[in-house]
Structures are given as structure tokens and as C-alpha cells.
Chains A and B, each alone.
Chain A
């Protein structure tokens, strides 16, 4: 695998954005094809992975990134409140998708809705919060990235374990 250096906080979060977008695109490709019925298992797996990835992503943003940003800037409150509202919207969709369980046209619609919500959220973050974070002298993005990564790995491990025991 190519030699990437360690990512800072923004890069780490953006890596999540790009990776999950790939999953969304793959899902849509399958859901819109003429043989959608034949790809039920693939779509289910993709949907569950999307939900998993986004759940962890939202949690580390909420626990680490947003509070750090809020501390660094007095005026990002509204932006972050909006971001949190978007997280809530996404979480509801994730709950609904998980509730359906197996891919079907209803799940296709929900995954597309989730995609749109996330796309919007990502754009806000990339256009608004990342440039702020990158220029805040008080923010140690490398250190923050480290924290995000550790918490992400921890959450992933926890969730994997809980998935195994269930």
C-alpha cells in the first residue's frame, strides 16, 4: 500500500467522507441497475457498512472534533449546532435502515436519503469547518487527529466485539 504520512484531524475525517461516499455510490449503482433484485445481499452488506462507518464517524466528531472547534472559535456555535442536527437526522435514517434489515426498494430510498444528508453535511464541513480548523492557531490538528484515530479504533473494536457476541 502507498506511503501516506499520518493524517491530521481534518484529513482523517475527510478520509471517512470519501470512503463512505464510495460505498454510497456502489450502493446506488446496484440499486438502480436492472438486476437490483439479484444484489440484495451485496446491498444489505453495503448498507450495514455505511451505517457502521457513519455511526463511528459521527461519534468521534461529537466527542472530540466539535468540542475542540467550539473551544477554538467563539463563532462556530451555530455551524456546529446545525452539524449536530444533521447528525441526528442521519442517525434516524440509520436506525430506519437497520430496522429494515434486508435491502429492498424502501431501503434503497432511505440509503439515498442518507447519502444526500451526508453529502450536504460533508460539504458544510469541508467548506466551513475544515478551513476554520486549519487556520486556528490554538488547534493542534495532528494531536487531534491522533485522538480521533485512537477513539475511532477503540469504537470499531468495541462494535466488532459486540457484533460477535450478539
Chain B
């Protein structure tokens, strides 16, 4: 950094009082610089200010602002160290302190980046006050003229309370309104400095705090969690070199290729404008009208119709950065990367019938699951990895890496693991943290950069823009959850709800009056964009068009479909059938099936059949016939079965269904065994409260079949005990409870006479061969054999679902 030597100040003759007098004015001044006389603060400040300004006789970095080479390596800005803190202060009176003003701003510190403790509030032992700190004597009554008289306008306490209440709501996010979030950390496995100089990847074991928000896309803030939808997977890394937001999804591709179409897509999927129906659902006319006219959406539609759109938990879904990004190392070498989050617990989903039912019984299903996992120490964990490829490699791919509707098959470019993320702390306050957190794709740090993906380009603008309205102004970065842990020093000033109180009078750069501070960091420390050249720049000018390879709309849709297990393919076909059956315009269905024919004839035929189409529509004309042969024809990594996870059951729930007269010994033992695996086994009765065992012991049922229906549980245990079974058999809930467990392919352990309940629920006789064969996840054991079956039951839970019993339409 260029340092300028401060010239000695000239000491003049005995005109101290004149100088003192002059120093007491805020305009006009003597013609000569004055000497520093530390006995008089005003004089000293004037003198030191003069010295400081004189220390920068010219702007030494001005010449380096020019030329391409300088642009790649900007210099650090000039700075001069003042003789004391006097000249950079706002006021000499800062020496006067109080309980409110505190003292003087500590040198070089922005206190707004301190840990969240600075804004945490705990009211233990405190009396109720107004927002002005006035203790409220009576919080029950408004102020009236007489007990039956009129309320008085002067009641500032009532008015403050009501006024604040009236303004509690802020606009919800236009997309991703429904979300849940948690704090945690990212831990770097090994230094990845060969790839990037980004702070989180600098050394093995380095920890970076994160805040992660998961969300649906289409539904409003209060909508159900289990809608068929993409899930947002947004990670804010509070790195020591600034905030990095990796604003991803649980699917690696998107519907559209250019941000120009984003408002159209969202308008199409949101509730229809005339009647605001349907909430949190894509199964309606406008969505399918739009996407069937946008064949580039075919690949994404495959993902959204797959079970990935109905995850079992946020802890059991992958995350993706979607776009191609860049990583840049210290030497300035850049490579392309695709980000992948892989859940340690494996990729597991719900089935559609289950998701629909859950949305009624527990619309907060995923929010509750995330909260409860963290509260119980079953911390969600994900591995971050990147697919790395060079620009030269990318040019040879059969697809364009700037196209957000394409993925890079893992068989073509494997994933390199970089570290792990653990979510280990729930927010203290939903609004202050989860609602006010502002993710922006524009938030990147040195060592990272963007690609030219045109959808990403639009997002870089859109996120910041939308936060300004949603959070009420340009200072949303100061909201505690959004403030970085890296120092923030700039000359951005004012605006609504400003929190920072900048010291001094300088709000511009270059300056000499603040000694040049804050100065530009230069290439050594600061963010420098990759000097990506546009190869074709000479031939092409400004243009609104897509690259040719963007016109291949179907190859990867086919790849995705062909890379699923047959069960997953069935689920995709059934989802298309469901969604399109909800469409009211046959022509839109026809057009969608016509589009699907270009991706998979088998899928199209199945969907058409399910929709009662008598004749198949002709395939949609293709945007191009010149399609490069794909490098990969089948990618098992695209199947949910590819990542069963580490087998941990932590966070799962089991219902043990009982009524009075059940076999208590087994139930309590099973509950304890499951708890050892991190599984919460709830005793579910006909009602909550005491139920007694055969031997007359009282056990608390903490959930009832009425308040916790079967589909909310991952597995079911039916305990033995003739009286209990008789009571359950006459309760209509029992049949539904068992039927849903069976239909959703979940493990069921049935001990002794409890078998009667399963038969009562309608288990078809044709299950007999499968039961004898084994592997059904349905365990029918003799009285007293329940304990011995627990290991097999737990192993069946690890398989998550037992689709062997799944028929279309369902057996039960």
C-alpha cells in the first residue's frame, strides 16, 4: 500500500489565540496550516487535520485505474495514519460520555457485526414496558373516562401497542415464502487452495458459521410443507472474508434458461390470479399451459414429478447450486464448478398419497421435523462437494454448461468432497432470523465467481432488489441475521432503519480527511472478477438469443427418466397423471403428453393411458434436430436409491399402537430400543392419557389416533394384548392408521393377536406369498416374539420404504 510521509507542520509565532479562535469555527480558516498544540483540542484537531490532508498531496493510485492489466490487479488504495484519533472524529465532544452515548467508537471497528448476543433479548425477572422502556402498570385495560365511559385518545400505551401490532407483518417473499431455517457450521475437510482461495476452504478443519433456510417455492408463507414442489436450499456462509450465499435448490436444474422468463414461470405456477386457487400446487391450468409451451422445462418437470419434490425431511434431500459457478485460486486460475450438498442420512422421500394426507394433519411437517431433529441432537448433516471442469472441457460437452436446464452427469465429472455442514442450533426467533434473513446470489466472496448463465445473471439482480421491498429499504444487510462477521467499512450511508453510526465526516473515497480510509483493498485482499473473455465477442454484439445447444430440450429429460428405478418411474408417471388430471383443458394435457413423447415414449404412453386419452397426440415439433450424442446414457446417481445414507434412523418416528390391556413389557422395551437408535417411538392410544398394560401398570399415551394419524409415522408397531386389540378393532381410526402405514410401504411389526387388526384393516390374502418370501417390511410374529423381531424391524426402517407391496391402484 502506498504510504505517504507526513511533512512536518510549521510552527508559527505567538498567534495562539488567533489560531484557537479560528479553530472554533466550522467555516473559513487561516491561510496557513497551523501548528499542533495539544493543549487545545480544537487547535490540535485543526492542525492534525491539516497535516493529514497534506499527507496526501495527490491521489497516487489514479494512474493504475487505467488499462486491462491494471484492472486485473487493482492496487491497494492510499492511506495516511493520522497523528491521533482527533482529525477523523465527528466531534470533539465525543469525550463526553453517558449511559446512552457510551464512549468513543473503538478504532477501526464496526460494532454491528458482533455476535447476535448484542441483540438478544431475555425478559426473565423483568416487568412489562412500552417500547420506550416505560413500565406498564396495567396491561389489561385501555384508558377510559369512567369504567363505562369512552376510551381516551391520550392512551399512548394502548396506541403504541396497537400501532406496533398493526405493522407486524412484512411482505412475504414472492417465491420461497414458506421456509424453515437453522444455524450450523461448515467444516473444511482439507485445504482446497488448488481450486479456490475462498475463505471456507483455506485449511483442513476450518469452521465457518452458516445459516440455512429450506423452503417450498410456490406456496405462500402459511402454506403446507409437503406440497409437490422444488425445495429451496439456501446457505449463508458467514466467512471471515464476507458473506457468501449459496442460494440453491434440492434439484440441480430449473424450468427456464433465461431470467427473462422467471416472472412468467412464477405467475403461471402461483395461484391463478382471478380466484387465487390453488394454493401451493402446480396441478392447475396456468402452470401446465406455460410449461407445455416451454419445452426446455421438460427435464425439470421430470425432477418435480419425481419423489424428490416430496422429501421425507430437509435432512434427507440433496442440495445443488443449480448454475455453473467459478472457483478461483490465489494464482488467479479459474475453473468451473457445480455445487452439490449430499445428506448424510441419505435421500429419502414421501409418497404422494402420504404427502397429501400430511398436508392436512400437519402442514408444518418439515418445519417440525427440522426443529425436532435439532432439539433432540439428531443434527442434519450434509457433505459439500463440487464437480470441477475447465472451460476447455466444458466446450466439448454435448450440452451447454450455461444452460440451467442441464446437469453435468456425475459419471462425466465426479464430485470432489470439500467439507461437511452440520445444522446444530435452532433460531431463537422465527421472524428475526428465518423471515428476515436475506439470501442473495450476488453475495460471493474472493475465490468464487459467476458463469455467464443468463438465469444466474438475472438472479444476481433480483434477490437484492426483492429484499429492498421486503425488508423495507437498503439497510437489510444490517439486520442482525444478515450482518456478516467480517468487518464492514464503506461509504454507503443513510436510508431507512439505518443502524450503524459512522464516526467522522468522510463518506467518500478517495479522501485525505480520513487518512484515505476506508481504502480500496486491492487485488491482494479484495474481490476481483475473473477476466473471463467472451470468445466470440468479435463476431457478436448485443443480442437477445440463446446459444444453439440450449435448443436440445429432451436429451437430459430422457437421461433422468431412464436413470430411475422402475418404482421411481412409476411415481413420475403417476405424478404427471395426477397433475394433468387436475388440469381442466384437454388441449393442455394433450400438449404436455406430446412434449413427453420427445423424452420417453413409455412415459408418455403411461401418462396418456392414465388420463384416458384415446389417441396419442403427435410429438411436439423439436426446436432442433441437431443434438449432440450425450456422453452418459444412464446415471444411477440420479436415483434416490443411489444414496441410502449411513443407515442412521435419528429423527424418525414410530407409532406403537395400544389401548388398555396391552402387553406392556414388550412395548416399553421396544420404545427403549428405538430410542437407542435415535428413533422417537410414541405410544399412540385411542386418546391421550393413561392406558394400562395387561398386568395393570399405567403407561401414558402421549398421542392419540385422532391427533396423530398413522401417516405421520415412519413405522408402526402393533402390540399384543387381547383387550387392547378388541378396543382398537372397534375404533375406526385403527383401520385407517394401519391402512396408511401399509399403503405408504412403511415397516409394520405386528405381535401375536395384533395380526387380527391387520386383517381387519383389509390386508389382502394375496400378500401371503410375499410374507413367506420375506423382505416385505411387514413382520408378523407370535406372541412374546416382538422383542426378538426388533432388529429386523429396525433394518426394515433403514430401507425406508418397501415398494414391493405398491400396486397402482393401491392394494389397500
Mask, B757-782, CB within 8 Å of A = 1, is: 00100001111111111011000100
Beta-carbon contact of A2 and B804 below 8 Å: no
Chain A residues closer than 8 Å to B642, beta-carbon distance: 32-34
- Given contacts A29-B799, A126-B807, whether A18 and B769 have CB atoms under 8 Å apart is yes
Measured CB to CB, the closest approach of chain A to B395, in angstroms, equals 29
Q: How many Å lie between the Cα of A14 and that of B764 in the bound state?
A: 10
- Given contacts A18-B766, A18-B811, A122-B807, whether A1 and B771 have CB atoms under 8 Å apart is yes
Q: Is A158 an interface residue (CB 8 A)?
A: no
The number of residues on chain A lying at the interface, defined by a beta carbon within 8 Å of a beta carbon of chain B, is: 36
Chain A residues closer than 8 Å to B806, beta-carbon distance: 21
Chain B residues closer than 8 Å to A18, beta-carbon distance: 766-767, 769-770, 804-805, 807, 811
> Residue on A with the closest CB to B763?
A2
Beta-carbon contact of A34 and B755 below 8 Å: no
* Interface pairs A-B: 10 shortest CB-CB: A22-B804, A28-B565, A32-B641, A15-B769, A14-B766, A15-B766, A115-B566, A19-B769, A4-B768, A19-B770
Beta-carbon contact of A15 and B770 below 8 Å: yes
A-B contact number at CB 8 A: 101
Mask, B631-660, CB within 8 Å of A = 1, is: 000101001011110000000000000000
Measured CB to CB, the closest approach of chain A to B518, in angstroms, equals 50
Question: Using a CB-CB cutoff of 8 Å, which residues 602-646 of chain B contact chain A?
Answer: 602, 606, 634, 636, 639, 641-644
- Given contacts A29-B799, A119-B570, whether A22 and B768 have CB atoms under 8 Å apart is no
Chain A residues closer than 8 Å to B20, beta-carbon distance: none
Beta-carbon contact of B804 and A25 below 8 Å: yes
Residue of B565, B643, B764, B804 touching A21 (CB-CB under 8 A): B804
> Residue on A with the closest CB to B758?
A2
Beta-carbon contact of A1 and B780 below 8 Å: yes
Chain A residues closer than 8 Å to B644, beta-carbon distance: 29, 33
Beta-carbon contact of B639 and A32 below 8 Å: yes
Residue of B766, B771, B807, B808 touching A7 (CB-CB under 8 A): B766
Q: Is A62 an interface residue (CB 8 A)?
A: no
Q: Which residues of B contact A (CB under 8 A)?
A: 565-567, 569-570, 602, 606, 634, 636, 639, 641-644, 755, 759, 764-773, 775-776, 780, 799, 802-808, 811
> Residue on A with the closest CB to B605?
A120
Beta-carbon contact of B641 and A29 below 8 Å: yes
Beta-carbon contact of B566 and A24 below 8 Å: yes
Q: How many Å lie between the Cα of A109 and that of B316 in the bound state?
A: 27
Beta-carbon contact of B811 and A116 below 8 Å: no
Chain A residues closer than 8 Å to B755, beta-carbon distance: 2-3
Q: Is A5 an interface residue (CB 8 A)?
A: yes
Q: Is A11 an interface residue (CB 8 A)?
A: yes
Q: How many Å lie between the Cα of A18 and that of B768 in the bound state?
A: 9
Chain B residues closer than 8 Å to A139, beta-carbon distance: none
Beta-carbon contact of A22 and B805 below 8 Å: yes
Q: Is A61 an interface residue (CB 8 A)?
A: no
Chain A residues closer than 8 Å to B566, beta-carbon distance: 24, 28, 112, 115-116, 119
Question: Using a CB-CB cutoff of 8 Å, which residues 16-49 of chain A contact chain B?
Answer: 16-19, 21-26, 28-29, 31-34, 36
> Residue on B with the closest CB to A14?
B766
Residue of B602, B767, B808 touching A116 (CB-CB under 8 A): B602
Q: How many Å lie between the Cα of A145 and that of B567 in the bound state?
A: 29
Q: How many Å lie between the Cα of A11 and that of B766 in the bound state?
A: 5
Q: Is A123 an interface residue (CB 8 A)?
A: yes
- Given contacts A15-B770, A32-B636, A112-B565, whether A26 and B765 have CB atoms under 8 Å apart is no
Chain A residues closer than 8 Å to B808, beta-carbon distance: 123
Beta-carbon contact of B780 and A2 below 8 Å: yes
Q: How many Å lie between the Cα of A164 and that of B96 in the bound state?
A: 101
Beta-carbon contact of A32 and B565 below 8 Å: yes
> Residue on A with the closest CB to B799?
A29
A sample of 14 inter-chain contacts (CB < 8 A) reads: A1-B771, A3-B755, A14-B764, A18-B767, A19-B773, A19-B804, A22-B776, A23-B773, A29-B565, A31-B636, A36-B636, A116-B566, A116-B569, A119-B566
> Residue on A with the closest CB to B636?
A32
Beta-carbon contact of A22 and B570 below 8 Å: no
User: Contacts A11-B766, A18-B769 given; 5 further ones with Cβ under 8 A?
Assistant: A7-B766, A16-B769, A32-B565, A109-B634, A112-B566
Beta-carbon contact of B766 and A22 below 8 Å: no
Measured CB to CB, the closest approach of chain B to A38, in angstroms, equals 13
